[in-house]
Amino acid sequence: MKFFVDTADIDQIRELAETGLLDGVTTNPSLIHKSGKNFLEVVRDIAAAVAGPVSAEVVATDHAEMMREAEILRKIAENVTIKVPLTIDGLKTCKALTSDGTMVNVTLCFTANQALLAAKAGATFISPFVGRHDDIGFDGMQIISDIRIIYDNYDYATQILVASIRHPVHVLESAKIGADVITAPPAVIHQLFKHPLTDRGLETFASDWAKTGQTIA
């Protein structure tokens, strides 16, 4: 399973990229706003920092304007993926861009039926939002399971990119279901490293090693 990080913070992106675990980055207007920086500059910096796909979202809602914005964004770097909403105009834009060889991430997906439409439109990635579904009392992971079955039934190439991840259990369940990609905030990815027994074990090893009086030299 591929790991994307969901942030516009270039320092956090570079830190995770150094681990060798980072396969791509997703951004959205809210994350850009939080960064307080120029949108195009942020996308350019991120695309230079990672080799994998970098999702940059259009803000227009009509097809013609989405295509105009996409043209600007995809010129930034070859690894820029155009992010469009799951609307009729968004899927028109998806079809036009993927037919021209541009990667497209269809976002704001909340049902398996929507994911089916995105696959038929040729989406590179579909981004179902599991956390937001959980927030209103539904099982977000069930949508991932349903999409996996549908895509496998028809051999769709669209990659399931699990978004709106709230905690490490979402990552675990995504992997068990067979999602292609997860995108998570840096804090959630860092939580994947943590376990109290790991910390306790390191403390024991360090204490025992100190008692030997040795150094590795």
Tens-of-pLDDT digits for all 217 residues of the chain? 999 999 999 999 999 999 999 999 999 888 988 888 899 999 999 999 999 999 999 999 999 999 999 999 999 999 999 999 999 999 999 999 999 999 999 999 999 999 999 999 999 999 999 999 999 999 999 999 999 999 999 999 999 999 999 999 999 999 999 999 999 999 999 999 999 999 999 999 999 999 999 999 8
Does the residue 10 lie in any domain? yes
Residue 161: half-sphere exposure toward Cβ, Cα within 13 Å: 31
Q: Which residues pair with 54 in a beta bridge?
A: 25, 80
Burial 142-161 (b: 16+ CB within 10 A, else e): ebbbbbbeebeeeebebbbb
Q: Establish if 11 belongs to a structural domain.
A: yes
For residue 5, the SS3 value is: strand
Residue 51 domain-assigned (yes or no): yes
Domain count, the chain: 1
Per-residue confidence (pLDDT) for residue 61, from 0 to 100: 97
Catalytic center residues: 83
Domain with 115, as residue range(s), is 2-212
CA 172 to chain centre: 15
Bridge partners (DSSP) of residue 25 are 5, 54
CATH number of domain containing 67: 3.20.20.70
Task: Give the per-residue pLDDT at 35.
Answer: 87
Report yes or no on 46 lying in a domain: yes
DSSP one-letter code for 129: B
217 belongs to a structural domain: no
pTM of the model: 0.95
